[in-house]
């Protein structure tokens, strides 16, 4: 059985993870799942990088010990990966004993070999990136990676003879074009090495939060030396030679573009010093940006993936990330683009295909399908397209062209929808002489959905399984790509299940004002259904709701950053609010009670998981709460920090 080993970077638990981190892990997960579909023995590793000065400083500022601090944040990482259906085989925390042993052993081996020596480090350090820089590498006097100020450090330190390996690393990169992908990153690394590599400082004495240097306990191991070796820990480097042989060298280290340097220069040098083979590939993906800007707390544009999952579900988020962004390039995240994709690709294209197919099989053939007895030109064309889709998918996924593979699968979804229109099963059902044609159409549609279910498993595992189960098929966990290749693999006379909705459409209703008391006159014209619903609602006013119902409403303290009137309205204000890292726009019917300037800087309470609604052409992503007696209205405010929960 072929083996496949893929890793994500181990994330710093200095803060909660944002959607950019979720992007990286989702890609790795899709690739791992694809290789499992190929029936390979896959090991997929992620984890947390818990030592270093930044974590020690952050914990101190929070008034807790470093381990208390990281325990809490790392539990959040693990919860996020579970909710995002991440299928990692191990989660490595650098604070674990098994990892300490590996780091200390590696340090000792390289020291004994003579590639580590003691000296004095005098230079510049970026604490957020945990990176050493020389004067000429700085950009405008600041860290070239994150743009933040660097500080001078001078301390006794151990050095790794990185410079000894520069020629061998350069040669390796030049002789192995697939070692660093994409090519743009490869070229950057070649230039970086050609400017000369200095020996790397690999120990610190000015703080304690790290793994002690085995030969000199007043030093702790430099956090990147500690972190990079994580890739060896869980695959049996010290304790399971067989497992180690199976999974090392690693197939892909998937990392963000700014840390390709650590993985394609420093890490290979460490491995060379250990006489270990180099990873087959370091893939540097681009950044997920929001309106062109990198996410950061200070810019207030950080997007919390947990909230997105609460609102839209994990599969929709995964689909968006994998489809919308070309791997290797930076890509933009926007809620509106996400909603558009959910409505068009998921609810409409995929959801309708499944629904129409199962409905017709139920209605016309009592839920049964039969192996085709006829073959028309439309069938041949559909089956050829299916084969072509699988071939393209296999090649594209194998080459990390993930968004292209996703697009191809959706082209096949569209193709299958078109096949329904071409073969017109509803018309065939009216003609007794066309029974075989009808039966062939329904079989081929079910077969297409079976294929689609397997192909989308790496992108949307929960949806894939739902489709499989609705088709009445068994044992999805063991489905492989080879099953999908067998187009007519469903047995003659098979019975399908009943259709259930996969993705509800996200309605962004065009509404005038959300104040329930004063329904706008225009709304009254919109039909009786709406007013009937209103009556039903008011009848329900006194009914009790469960605590579970109440807890579905996420209330948070947010700060109003900006407020302005919505043109041509009397009641509406457009507010920009800060949720504690994330900025949102909302429209609120409070203009008669508050002037925009009175609102700016106020901390108010907001429902943050309300379905978006379009109000006067502006998409409103939430609602602020106010008390009202019919005449006066007062916003609910709080002096607690932004992001505080209201329960
Ligand atoms: N701890 C180191 C990695 C050590 S690996 C041996 C680290 N951690 S990090 O938490 O700062 O970043 C982890 C990864 O998240 C990096 O690959 C980084 O590129 C990625 N991302 C951080 N913000 C991102 C986006 N906005 N978009 C995409 N990826 C992003 O570096």
**CATH number, domain containing residue 626:** 2.40.50.140
d(CA 559, CA 605): 9
* Residue 26 to residue 331: CA distance in whole angstroms: 14
Domain that holds residue 602: 545-646
Q: Whose CA is nearest to atom 30 of ligand 1?
A: 20
Q: Which helix (H) or strand (E) holds 168?
A: helix 166-175
Range 338-349 burial, b when 16+ CB lie within 10 A, else e = bbebbbebbbeb
Q: Whose CA is nearest to atom 18 of ligand 1?
A: 256
Please tell me the distance from the alpha carbon of residue 217 to that of residue 214, in angstroms, as a whole number.
6
In a domain, residue 311? The reply is no
Total domain count, the chain: 3
Write out residues in the chain with pLDDT < 50, as ranges.
512-542
Helix or strand holding residue 284 (H, E): strand 282-285
Ligand 1 pocket test: which of 15, 19, 20, 326 has the largest number of ligand atoms within 8 Å of its C-beta?
Answer: 20
Listed residues 443, 478, 507: the one ending a domain: 507
21 lines ligand 1 (CB under 6 A): yes
Q: 471 with 610, same domain?
A: no
- Which pLDDT belongs to residue 526? 36
Same domain, 500 and 549: no
Compute, in angstroms, the gap from residue 42 CA to the centroid of ligand 1. 23
Distance 255 CA to ligand 1 centre (A): 7
Q: Let me know whether 277 and 346 are in one domain.
A: no
CB of residue 259 inside a 6 A radius of ligand 1: yes
Half-sphere exposure of 92 (CA within 13 A, CB side): 26
Instruction: Say if residue 42 is in the same domain as residue 171.
Output: yes
**Nearest ligand 1 atom to alpha carbon 12:** 10
Radius of gyration, CA atoms only, the chain: 29
Residue 495's φ and ψ, nearest 5 degrees, are -105, 130
Indicate whether 530 belongs to any domain: no
Q: Assess whether 552 and 496 both reside in one domain.
A: no
Domain end, chosen from 252, 268, 286, is at: 286
Q: Are residues 213 and 147 located together in one domain of the fold?
A: yes
Determine whether the shortest distance from the Cβ of 225 to ligand 1 is under 6 A: no
- Does ligand 1 lie within 6 Å of residue 295's CB atom? yes
The pLDDT value recorded for residue 540 is 34
Q: How many angstroms does the Cα of residue 201 sit away from the middle of ligand 1? A: 22
> Would you say the CB of residue 256 lies under 6 angstroms from ligand 1?
yes
- The residue whose CA is least distant from atom 23 of ligand 1 is 20
- Residue 136 tokens read as 């000429």
CATH of the domain at 451: 1.10.730.10
In a domain, 50, yes or no: yes
Atom 6 of ligand 1, nearest CA residue:
228
| Contact yes or no for 339/479 (Cβ under 8 A) | no
Is 309 within the bounds of a domain?
no
Is residue 120 assigned to a domain? Answer: yes
The CA angle 255-257-263, to the nearest 5 degrees, is 55
Residue 55 is part of a domain; what is its CATH number? 3.40.50.620
- Ligand 1 centroid to residue 21 C-alpha, Å: 6
**Cis-peptide into 572, omega within 30 deg:** no
Distance 287 CA to ligand 1 centre (A): 9
What is the distance in A from the centroid of ligand 1 to the CA of 9?
Answer: 7
Is the same domain home to 115 and 264? yes
What span, in angstroms and rounded, lies between the C-alpha atoms of 460 and 452? 11
Last residue of a domain, one of 507, 531, 563: 507
CB atoms within 10 A of CB 143: 21
* 627 CB-side CA count, 13 A: 3
Please check whether residue 308 lies inside any domain of the structure. Answer: no
Residue 513 within any structural domain of the chain: no
Give the span between the Cα atoms of 166 and 85, in whole angstroms. Answer: 40
Structure tokens at 322: 């994998």
143 and 56, same structural domain? yes
Among 98, 58, 54, 109, CA closest to 222: 54
Taking CA 281 as the corner, what is the angle to CA 280 and CA 286, rounded to the nearest 5 degrees?
A: 170
Q: Which residues pair with 496 in a beta bridge?
A: none
Shared domain check, 132 and 218? yes
Is residue 494 domain-shared with residue 554, that is, in the same domain? no
Instruction: Provide the β-strand partners of residue 46.
Output: 91
Q: Whose CA is nearest to atom 16 of ligand 1?
A: 256
290 lines ligand 1 (CB under 6 A): no
β-bridge partners, 388: none
pLDDT at position 531, please?
31
Q: What is the pTM of this model?
A: 0.82
Dist. CA 183 → ligand 1 center (Å)? 20
Q: Provide the b/e sequence for 38-54 (b: ≥16 CB within 10 Å).
A: eebebbbbbbbbbbbbb
Instruction: Classify residue 322: in a domain, yes or no.
Output: no
In sequence order, what are the beta bridge partners of 563? 575
* Judgement on whether residues 136 and 23 belong to the same structural domain of the protein: yes
**Whether 578 and 431 share a structural domain:** no
């Amino acid at each position: 059985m072929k083996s496949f080993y893929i890793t994500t970077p181990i994330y710093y638990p200095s803060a909660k993870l944002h959607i950019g981190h979720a992007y990286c892990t989702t890609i790795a997960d899709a690739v791992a799942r694809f290789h499992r579909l190929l029936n390979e023995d896959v090991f997929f590793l992620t984890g947390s990088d818990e030592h270093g000065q930044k974590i020690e400083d952050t914990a101190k500022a929070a008034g807790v010990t470093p381990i208390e601090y990281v325990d809490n944040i790392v539990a959040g990482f693990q919860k996020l990966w579970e909710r995002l259906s991440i299928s990692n085989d191990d989660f490595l925390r650098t604070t674990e004993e098994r990892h300490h042993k590996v780091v200390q052993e590696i340090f000792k081996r390289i020291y004994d070999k003579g590639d580590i020596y003691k000296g004095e480090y005098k230079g510049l350090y970026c604490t957020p990136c945990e990176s050493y820089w020389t004067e000429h590498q700085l950009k405008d006097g600041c860290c070239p990676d994150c743009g933040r100020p660097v500080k001078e450090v001078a301390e006794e330190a151990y050095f790794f003879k990185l410079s000894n390996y520069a020629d061998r690393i350069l040669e390796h990169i030049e002789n192995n074009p697939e070692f660093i992908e994409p090519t743009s990153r490869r070229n950057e690394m070649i230039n970086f090495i050609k400017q000369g590599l200095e020996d790397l400082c690999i120990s610190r004495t000015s703080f304690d939060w790290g793994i002690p240097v085995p030969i000199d306990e007043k030093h702790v191991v430099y956090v990147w030396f500690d972190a990079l070796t994580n890739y060896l820990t869980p695959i049996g480097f010290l304790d399971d030679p067989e497992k180690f042989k199976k999974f090392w060298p690693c197939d892909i280290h998937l990392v963000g573009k700014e840390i390709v340097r650590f993985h394609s220069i420093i890490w290979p040098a460490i491995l060379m010093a250990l006489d270990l083979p180099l990873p087959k590939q370091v893939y540097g993906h681009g950044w997920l940006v929001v309106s062109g800007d990198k996410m950061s707390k200070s810019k207030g544009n950080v997007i919390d993936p947990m909230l997105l999952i609460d609102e839209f579900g994990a599969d929709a988020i995964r689909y968006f990330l994998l489809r919308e962004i070309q791997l290797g390039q930076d890509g933009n995240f926007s809620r509106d683009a996400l909603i558009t994709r959910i409505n068009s690709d998921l609810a409409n294209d995929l959801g309708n295909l499944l629904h129409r197919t199962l409905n017709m099989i139920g209605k016309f053939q009592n839920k049964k399908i039969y192996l085709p007895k006829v073959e028309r030109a439309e069938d041949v064309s559909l089956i050829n397209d299916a084969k072509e889709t699988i071939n393209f998918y296999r090649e594209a996924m194998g080459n990390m062209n993930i968004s292209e593979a996703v697009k191809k699968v959706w082209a096949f979804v569209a193709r299958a929808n078109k096949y329904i229109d071409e073969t017109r099963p509803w018309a065939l059902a009216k003609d007794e002489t066309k029974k075989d044609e009808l039966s062939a159409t329904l079989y081929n549609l079910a077969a297409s959905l079976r294929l689609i279910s397997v192909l989308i498993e790496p992108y949307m595992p929960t949806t894939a399984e739902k489709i499989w189960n609705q088709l009445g098929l068994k044992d999805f966990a063991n489905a492989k790509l080879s099953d999908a290749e067998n187009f007519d693999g469903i047995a003659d006379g098979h019975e399908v299940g009943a259709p259930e909705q996969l993705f509800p459409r996200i309605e962004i209703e065009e509404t005038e004002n959300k104040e329930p008391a004063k329904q706008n006159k225009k709304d009254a014209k919109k039909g009786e259904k709406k007013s009937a619903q209103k009556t039903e609602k008011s009848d329900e006013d006194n009914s009790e709701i469960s605590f579970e119902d109440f807890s579905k409403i996420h209330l948070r303290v947010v700060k109003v950053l900006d407020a302005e009137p919505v043109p041509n309205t009397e009641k509406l204000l457009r507010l920009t609010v800060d949720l504690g890292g994330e900025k949102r726009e909302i429209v609120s019917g409070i203009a008669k009670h508050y002037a925009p300037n009175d609102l700016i800087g106020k901390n108010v309470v907001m429902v943050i998981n309300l379905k978006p609604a379009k109000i006067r052409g502006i998409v409103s992503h939430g609602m602020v709460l106010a008390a009202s007696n019919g005449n006066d209205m007062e916003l609910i405010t709080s002096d607690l920090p932004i992001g505080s929960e209201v329960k």
